[in-house]
Structure 1
Amino acid sequence: MSAPTNVLPYALAAARRDWHVFPLRTRAKRPVRTFTDWERHATCDEGAITAYWGAHPAHNLAVACGPSGLVVVDLDTPKDGETPPPEWARPGIAAGADVLAALAEEHADGDTAFLDTFTVTTRRGGTHLYYTAPEGAAYRNTSGRLGWLIDTRATGGYVVGPGSYVADADGRGPYTVTNPTATAPLPGWLATLMEPARRRPVTSGQVHQALVSSPGMATYVTRALRGEVDRVLASKEGRRNHTLNTAAFAVGTLVGAGMLPKHLAEDALEQAGLHVGLESSEVEDTVRSGIQAGIRRPRGAAA
């Protein structure tokens, strides 16, 4: 399927929903060079939009989520050869949409009404679910927090808008509106799962108690996780984020081997990072990226 020749109608349609938009390069997901500060320059002014896309009709469209008051849930499909991590290696789980359905079954009693919102099908067969952010909320982007092949875009993030066409090495195709309805409010259960770790007083004893009270964990794994938590708690100022990243990678190798639940690993390391004074957003990013890197090198696998 060839790229659309005129993105202007899609940009205007987005602006009429009060969404702030800005241009991406033709057939790409990167902002044009003149829009490096895209979150500040994104606009819903129809005159400015008409002037720009009238002159550059093939430039792709981006929707800036924060200024638009949106949280977009991005359900991806696996790349060639990609398989679910151990915690999602279950019957019926083959893509991000399946993971979201499993989360809904657990947290919303299987209610699927939340799926009735503005929806875009992406170039590789994935899905963007657009939601209105709660007033006063300050959600940030997440990658994998909700589960395998699920990302979210909010303040500080953007999504490729409908009408765009992207041609990348891993696939090419259009972004197509498949449900043009109004955006639904972000479901409460999803909002809860997206909430960042809160800064709270945590002692090393509390962290350790959380480990030993977890049923079914082997002594070896408990000691390994406790050792990495101790390493973070003893880290020196200026080295704390690096130490947290190293610990997250080591623990991630256990998660990747199916020896340790991912949520427990994340909770223990996040609490340790908060305890030594790191900012919550820094802690979350470091723990998740480190664990994901470790998952790709599971304990016991050949180097």
Structure 2
Amino acid sequence: MTRDIRSALRSAALDAAGRGWPVFPLRAPNDPIGAKKPASFFHGGARCTRQGYCRDGHQGWEELAITDPDRIGRAWSRATHNIGIACGRAGLLVIDLDQPKPGALPPKNAEAEGGFAWGADALAALCEREGGDFTAMWETRTVTTPRGGIHLYYQQPPGVRLGNTQDPERLIDTRGHGGYVLAPGSITPDGVYRLVEDLPPAPLPGWLARLLAPRPSTAVSRRPVRAAERLPAYVDAAVQGECERVATAALGAHSRVLLASSIALGQLCGAGALPPATAASDLADAARHMITNPKCDCTDREITRTITNGLRLGSTRPRRIPNRKAA
């Protein structure tokens, strides 16, 4: 990488941070593992040793993203990095309108919804269905991607925490809490992310905020009661709560959330209040969506390892169980 490219990427990182958007280093534009992935010095929750800056809890790219110009200047001067914007911490919800990949089959519902060929057509169909203003959707900060896609930047709505969504059939994704986008100026083998509309992020339309709002999970709320268990109510509530967190974990935060919940339940196992097999089984059920999601790299083996490590780590620090007398 030339010094000019490194300098341009540093300037782009400083520009994003100057808008109040926390940024973090991605891999270099020519990295064989992938120019869109977090830099190699970030680690997942499953591999966290709880040392260094993680001694008080795992710190991933989202927690470590920064706006400090001095630190950004040093980080992007030492090595060549693409730029990730931590959308949730930046208060952003970014709509990603994709182009179909070469050789991909048309979406199954394309004909039923007007024959859309890419994400913008799908967004137009969605606006028509929900009564939204398609033209107004484009009156916001807009970035083009190297493969012909579009990123539309919006403000996160107040009072709700919007995460990530994926709809590969419609060719529309969103990035919010737990997600990131490449800042304009970032480079991949396909080209450059370019700012084409330098407007402030518009407020997210209310109809779309309602559509994207997280819904309570029904799968974990119907956790079966095993006849042999006889778990105290507060233990069962803890299991339900941690499984809910895992089941609703956003893309990009899967390993971190799963490990944290496994540690929490491991503390109950260590105290003798929860059978480890029950904790492992319920956590695995709640994490099933991480394997079935086509945009997630999680595997069954990784999930099992994360749960096992978390339960083992938590059991070394048993939770103090209150002495409850029968009523």
Q: Is the 8 A contact 1:199 1:280 kept in 2?
A: no
Structure 1 stretches (4+) deviating beyond 6 angstroms? 233-237
Distance 1:281 1:149, change over 3 A: farther
RMSD: 3.3
Q: Judging changes above 3 Å, is the alpha-carbon distance between structure 1 residues 195 and 92 closer, same or farther for their aligned structure 2 residues?
A: same
Aligned counterpart, 2:39: 32
Is it true that 1:88 corresponds to 2:95 in the alignment?
A: no
CA distance in 1, matches of 2:27, 2:116: 34
- 3-state SS of 2:41 partner: helix
Q: Match of 2:27, as an amino acid? A: R
Instruction: Give the direction of change, closer, same or farther, for the CA distance of 1:29–1:94 in structure 2 (3 Å limit).
Output: same
Letter in 2 for 1:42: A
Q: Counterpart in 2 of 1:133?
A: 156
Cα distance in 1 for partners of 2:115, 2:161 equals: 33
Describe the superposition over 1:192-250 as per-residue Cα deviations: whole angstroms up to 9, x where unpaired. Answer: 1112222579x9xxxxxxxxxxxxxxxxxxxxxxxxxxxxx79777xxxxxxxxxxxxx
Q: Is the 8 A contact 2:97 2:120 kept in 1?
A: yes
Distance 2:102 2:225 in 1: 42
Is this contact kept in 2: 1:12–1:46, CA < 8 A?
yes
Separation (CA, whole Å) in 2 of partners of 1:7 and 1:71 = 23
Instruction: Give 1:137's aligned amino acid.
Output: V
Whether contact under 8 Å (1:4, 1:164) holds in the other structure is: no
Q: What is the aligned counterpart of 2:210 among 186, 192, 204?
A: 192
* 2:188 aligned to which of 163, 166, 183: 166
Distance in 1 (CA, whole Å) between partners of 2:139 and 2:206 is: 15
| Distance apart, 1:73 and its partner CA | 0.8
Aligned to 2:15: 13
Structure 1 Cα separation of the partners of residues 108 and 288 of structure 2: 21
Say if 1:235 and 1:62 are closer, same or farther in 2 by CA, change over 3 A.
same
Q: Structure 1 292/31 Cα, relative in aligned 2: closer, same or farther at 3 Å? A: closer
Q: Distance in 1 between matches of 2:74 and 2:223?
A: 57
Matching residue within 247, 266, 276 for 1:282 = 247
Aligned partner of residue 24 in structure 2, secondary structure = strand
Q: CA deviation at 1:280?
A: 7.8
DSSP 3-state at the match of 1:86: coil
Count matched residues.
Answer: 219
CA pair 236-87 structure 1, distance change in 2 beyond 3 A: farther
Structure-1 residue corresponding to 2:87: 65
Aligned to 2:179: 157
Asked whether 1:177 is paired with 2:195, we answer yes
Q: Using the alignment, how far apart are the partners of 2:289 and 2:104 within structure 1? A: 22
Alignment of 1:113-128 (within 5 A): 113-128=136-151
The reply to whether residue 99 of structure 1 matches residue 122 of structure 2 is: yes
CA distance in 1 between counterparts of 2:90 and 2:248 reads 27
Q: What is the deviation of 1:86?
A: 2.3
Instruction: Indicate conservation of the 8 Å contact 1:120/1:128, yes or no.
Output: yes
Q: What are the ranges of 5 or more consecutive residues in structure 2 without an aligned counterpart?
A: 30-34, 44-59, 227-241, 250-286, 296-327
Name which of structure 1's ranges 47-56 and 61-70 shifts more when overlaid on structure 2. 47-56
TM-score scaled by length of structure 1: 0.63
Offset of 1:278 from its aligned partner? 6.3
Give the C-alpha shift of residue 117 in structure 1: 0.9
Question: Which of the pair is proportionally richer in strand?
Answer: 1
Partner deviation per Cα, 1:125-179 (whole Å, 9 max, x = no partner): 001111110123211111118x611111111111111101012xxxx11100011
Aligned to 2:96: 74
Partner Cα separation in structure 1 for residue 14 and residue 224 of structure 2: 52
CA contact (8 A) 1:23 1:35 kept: no
Q: Tell me, which stretches of 5 or more residues in structure 1 are unaligned?
A: 204-232, 238-276, 294-303
Question: By how many angstroms is 1:99 displaced?
Answer: 0.4
Q: In structure 1, how many angstroms separate the alpha carbons of the residues matched to 2:293 and 2:74?
A: 46
Give the residue type in structure 1 aligned to 2:15.
Answer: A
Conserved 8 A contact 1:84-1:148: no
Q: Contact 1:35–1:41 (CA<8 Å) still a contact in 2? A: no
Letter in 1 for 2:39: V
Structure 2-normalised TM-score?
0.59
CA drift at 1:83: 2.5
Are the equivalent residues in 1 in contact too, given 2:88–2:178 (CA < 8 A)?
A: yes
